[in-house]
Amino acid sequence: MTGQLAWVTGASTGIGRALALGLAARGWRVAASARPSAALDALAPEGTDIAAYPLDVRDAAANAATVAAIEATGPIALAILNAGTYRPSWAAGFDVATMRDMVETNLMGTVNGLIPVMERMMARRSGHIVLVASVAGWRGLPGGGAYGATKAALINLAESLKPDLERHGIALTVVAPGFVRTPLTAGNDFPMPFLIEADEAARIILDRLPGRPFSLALPWRMALAMGLLRLLPAPLLFGLTRRMLR
């Protein structure tokens, strides 16, 4: 894949940053997008071939313009739509602003980038799209209602689009990370089992993407634990999740 072009959103910190650097190290040309920041500006000189494209993913028109600007340098072969945010949401204090922020960034922010990329890839009948969701989208967990709802929506969206995109020669992968050490998880005040570093998460993802899997969950122990939780009937599920309440 040396020399091909990849677009990564949410590339200034965390998994996105590690993915951008990892792709560049593997010979990709990388277009890195995030909100304007010193971290995004500093990213480009670190990589072997990374160009910064400042972007607020919540702006649909800006996403379309950014994709057009990137594709002026060549076709996007791989789009990793990773931008997202997290805020805890408990029943007490649950508010519209928190839910809207999660939806606009995690869900619509992904959709805003997906549409222009998908249209161009469909026209040339090639490409690989990656949506970064979370194992939090597999089952509802206390405190994660707003965040988990957006990630569950991304998983459902990917399942719906995959057969149709295959007809157009496009691969679709949905990545579901567990706990990864990032600036977002640094604020968590609860135990984070099987926590891994962002560089390790990026390595796992990039090692497996060439096989074009539909579902890519990591790390495997967290994926196994959440997979088992996914299979539990409601009484057993709530018996466990009640213990997570503070």
Report pLDDT for 1. 59
**pLDDT of res. 193:** 85
Residue of 28, 53, 147, 179 marked catalytic: 147
Whole-number Å distance between alpha carbons of 234 and 139: 11
In a structure prediction context, what are the per-residue pLDDT tens digits for the chain, which is 246 residues long? 568 999 999 999 999 999 999 999 999 999 999 999 999 999 987 656 999 999 999 999 999 999 999 999 999 999 999 999 999 889 999 999 999 999 999 999 999 999 999 999 999 999 999 999 999 999 999 989 999 999 999 999 999 999 999 999 999 999 999 989 888 787 777 778 899 999 999 999 999 999 999 999 999 999 999 999 999 999 999 999 998 886
Q: In what order do the strands lie in the sheet with 171-177?
A: 50-52, 29-33, 5-9, 76-81, 128-132, 171-177, 215-218
Nearest-angstrom CA–CA distance, 155 and 131: 8
Confidence at residue 186, expressed as pLDDT on a 0 to 100 scale: 73
How far apart, in whole angstroms, are the C-alpha atoms of residue 43 and residue 13?
9
Number of structural domains in the chain? 1
pLDDT at 94: 93
- Phi/psi for 197 (5° steps) reads -80, 155
Q: What is each CA distance from 74 to 9, 44, 52, 69, in whole angstroms?
A: 17, 18, 15, 9
Q: What is the pLDDT of residue 48?
A: 65
∠ CA 75-80-83 to the nearest 5 degrees? Answer: 130
pLDDT at 184 (0 to 100): 79
Write down the pLDDT at residue 64: 98
What CATH number does the domain containing 208 carry?
A: 3.40.50.720
Full residue range of the structural domain in which residue 71 is found = 5-244
* pLDDT for res 246: 67
Query: Is 53 known to be catalytic?
Result: no
